[in-house]
Amino acid sequence: MSSETAQELMKNRFRGYMPVVIDVETAGFNSKTDALLEIAAVTLRFNEDGDLVPNETLHYHIEPFEGANIEQAAIDFNGIDPHSPLRGAIDEGAALKEMFKPIRKAQKDAGCQRCILVGHNATFDHGFVMAAAERANLKRNPFHPFVTFDTAALAAVFLGQTVLIKACQAAGIEFDNNQAHSAIYDTERTAELFCYMVNRYKTLGGWPLNNE
């Protein structure tokens, strides 16, 4: 690793923010009215070579909140039966509270002041996380209230692709389309893609900045 510690690398690379990759599966497109059904998060770290790599994966199946709308087309698409007891689903507030604890610890360990949600079409995932946290009245939400890092936009610049599977293929990341639209699978592939782009930019000489 360079003279910077892993903590310093994270803090300096993203201006005091710690990226956390999130993917959600839902029962529609409206975060205020439609049920959140599944959420996964991947924290990131810098390794001894100074490369950004996936660290810890967190995953929860979520019970639809009381009065939630469930669009048939949405569950036909993602294949989730919201009311199946086999899912082992838990209340969205409990899931987020449990998920936020290790994320806040990782943020603190990295010396960062806030977390940034990384997602493929990130505003969608961000909207559902924020709406669920608001419904549960969670005060210690580690995520920035409106800033995100969108891998769809980044992949358009880096790889000329915006669809997750095509961006992963262009980056040489294995992608099984049969496992797509599972929150945990999509989150882990998105994390790999984000790390690839950050590390590739460094390899090409784009980081650290040369201000001479």
pLDDT score at 2? 52
| Whether the Cβ atoms of residue 34 and residue 70 lie closer than 8 Å to each other | yes
Calculate helix-pair angle for 151-159, 183-203, nearest 10 degrees.
40
The reply to whether 59 belongs to the active site is: no
Radius of gyration of the chain (CA): 17
pLDDT at 7: 81
Which pTM value belongs to this model? 0.95
Q: CB of 82 within 8 A of CB of 38?
A: no
Angle at 107 between CA 123 and CA 45, to 5 degrees: 85
Mark the ranges of the chain whose per-residue pLDDT is less than 50.
1, 212
Which member of 61, 120, 144, 181 is catalytic? Answer: 181
